Amino acid sequence: MHRARSSTAFLFDLDGTLIDSVYQHVLAWKEALDAEGVELSVWRIHRKIGMSGGLFTNILLRETGLEITEERLARLHQRHVEAFNRQHTQGLVRPLPGARELLAYLTEQGYPWAIATSGRMATAAHNIAALGVDPSKVPVITRDQVRHAKPDPDLFLAAAEKLGVDIEQSLVIGDSIWDMLAAQRARALGVGLLSGGYSEDELARSGALRVYDDPADLLKHIDEVAARL
Amino acid sequence: MHRARSSTAFLFDLDGTLIDSVYQHVLAWKEALDAEGVELSVWRIHRKIGMSGGLFTNILLRETGLEITEERLARLHQRHVEAFNRQHTQGLVRPLPGARELLAYLTEQGYPWAIATSGRMATAAHNIAALGVDPSKVPVITRDQVRHAKPDPDLFLAAAEKLGVDIEQSLVIGDSIWDMLAAQRARALGVGLLSGGYSEDELARSGALRVYDDPADLLKHIDEVAARL
């Protein structure tokens, strides 16, 4: 049965929001930084995850006082991709509880939805496949397609545009403070998930309207944030 | 120069407090749980880390509804130890910034200090060696030596007793809410570090008197929490 479209659109972050991959990304960055001789504590990497990879590596290198060269950045990104995809091959990265069910529910009910990730297609492709999402049917905006990634609003603005929805009628679902900041900067509403390992307080203080455990918990409480059909 | 002993003793947690090992422990547990067919999101493992390993696995198995058998628990612990020590062998686990300097400062100034960890010697031994600590000179209390680990107060009470200091004149330095709860239950004062990936808010709400980034940051602000000599 086809229902009338709701006025609420859902713009999803990917890592930590639909896929249980944040901690693997964190240790993949740790491995890449170690190989470059950049000594950085793991929790500091975790707190930067989810922002633009370029911004992330620039900030890290600036904080550690190392010179930022094109070659060093390219090596860091390459090593991160390799380390992350190695974990993926081992089957250690999977969708979060309720992720597939939530997306299926939205599709069935006629809510427009899209995915907008600070990652590049090189790491996102595995994750999108694991979710059973067909990128020819669902808008997937990656870092390759916009000038600035999160916390800039570009990714979510591009996702709303591709869906043909008003960003001000959209919810941004994310696990990191960078998603919540980007949501506010785009004039969308942010909904936080704890599944990336940030705390409720960190998400609320960066603008989350509501915070849920994970996609399963959001699905259970969907009427709190989405327009009724 | 030998100075008079201060009335403040320092009781340190190990993982996430002196050693940058929390995220590796988290993914080692993930690997062990996966091998047992226990599907659990990584962030939920992170939020339980630092509590008694026995309590931890009991809670996890209870939450996932699986039957708790002695054999299953023994396999889980064995797989966790193997996965963690594999990361250690790869050189990916190191002391946190300022950890060695902080311990050296306390020794030099004559502050009594000890280590009290919910881990067993099987995983702690590598970490203690990495810190350059000689267990024959410094009290190291592991889970093997007490009936109940954190959030029960036993580990910190045993550490204070071994040092011959009053627990009420002691500071408990830890990165997890379990350290802070155990500190309060022991009537010590808790000092939180962000280096295990918990948030400032989570640590403050579980009783931390003050919260610092890591051992280097605590050393910089030591006069805020320790009696002056």
Give the model confidence (pLDDT) of A118-135 as tens digits: 888 877 888 888 898 988
At which of B62, B89, B116 does a domain end? B89
Interface subset of A 184-213, CB within 8 angstroms of B:
194-202
Same domain, B101 and B177: yes
- Clarify whether residues B157 and B176 are in a common domain: yes
In a domain, B229, yes or no: no
Q: What is the pLDDT of residue B106?
A: 95
Distances (CA, A) of B167 to A7, A15, A112, A140, B163: 60, 43, 59, 56, 10
Token pair 């949501």 is found at A183
Same domain, B72 and B110: no
The pLDDT value recorded for residue B123 is: 77
Whether residue A100 is found in the same domain as residue A198: yes
Of A42, A59, A89, which residue constitutes the final position of a domain?
A: A89
Identify the residue with better confidence: A187 or B67: A187
The parent domain of residue B33 ranges over 23-89
pTM: 0.92
Q: Is the pLDDT of residue A91 over 80?
A: no
Residues in chain A within 8 Å Cβ distance of B34: 91-92
pLDDT at B3: 46
Residue B51 has a pLDDT of: 77
Q: Scanning every residue of chain B, which has its alpha carbon at the shortest distance from the alpha carbon of A16?
A: B43
Q: Calculate helix-pair angle for A121-130, A70-89, nearest 10 degrees.
A: 20
Contact between chains at B96 and A26 (C-beta distance less than 8 A): no
Half-sphere exposure of A163 (CA within 13 A, CB side): 31
Residues A99 and A207 grouped into a single domain: yes
A150/A192 same-domain check: yes
Q: What is the pLDDT of residue B1?
A: 43
Domain boundary among A70, A89, A108: A89
pLDDT, position B122: 77
Q: How far is A40 from chain B (nearest CA, A)?
A: 9
Tell me the shortest Cα–Cα distance from A63 to chain B, in angstroms. 14
Interchain contact, A197 vs B196, CB within 8 Å: no
CATH label of the domain that carries residue B165: 3.40.50.1000
Average pLDDT over residues A40-66: 82
B55 close to B154: Cβ distance less than 8 angstroms: no
Complex confidence, ipTM: 0.91
Looking at beta carbons, which residues of chain A come within 8 Å of B208? none
Q: What is the distance in angstroms between the CA of the first residue and the CA of the last residue of chain A?
A: 13
- Partner residue opposite A27 with nearest CB, options B23, B34, B201: B23
pLDDT at A67 over 70: yes
Q: Note the pLDDT of residue A26.
A: 93
A35-39, A51-55, B26-30, B180-184: least confidently modelled range: A51-55
Taking contacts as CB-CB distances below 8 angstroms, the residues of chain A near B42 are: 20, 22-24, 197
pLDDT on residue B41 = 94
Q: What is the pLDDT of residues A191-224, one digit of tens each?
A: 999 999 999 999 999 999 999 999 999 999 999 9
Cβ separation of B92 and A195 shorter than 8 Å?
Answer: no
CB contact under 8 A, A194 and B27: no
Same domain, A61 and A170: no
The answer to the question of residue B1 being in a domain is no
Read off the CATH number of the domain in which B60 is found: 1.10.150.240
The answer to whether the beta carbons of residues B113 and B10 sit under 8 Å apart is yes
Residue A100 within a domain: yes
A197 vs B194: CB contact, 8 Å cut-off?
Answer: no
Residue A171 CA, distance from chain mean position: 13
> Are A43 and B202 inside 8 Å of each other by CB?
no
CB contacts of A130 in chain B (<8 Å) are none
Which residues of A are catalytic, by number?
13, 15
B101 and B84 housed in the same domain:
no
Task: State CA B209 to chain mean position distance.
Answer: 17
Nearest to B42 among A23, A41, A91 (CB): A23
Is residue A77 located within the same domain as residue A152? no
User: Based on the structure, what is the number of domains in chain B?
Assistant: 2
For the stretch A169-182, pLDDT in tens is 999 999 999 999 99
Residue A46 resides in a domain: yes
**Residue A163: C-alpha distances to residues A112, A156, A174, B56, B171 (Å):** 7, 11, 18, 44, 55
Below-50 pLDDT ranges, chain B:
1-5
Q: Is B214 a domain residue?
A: yes
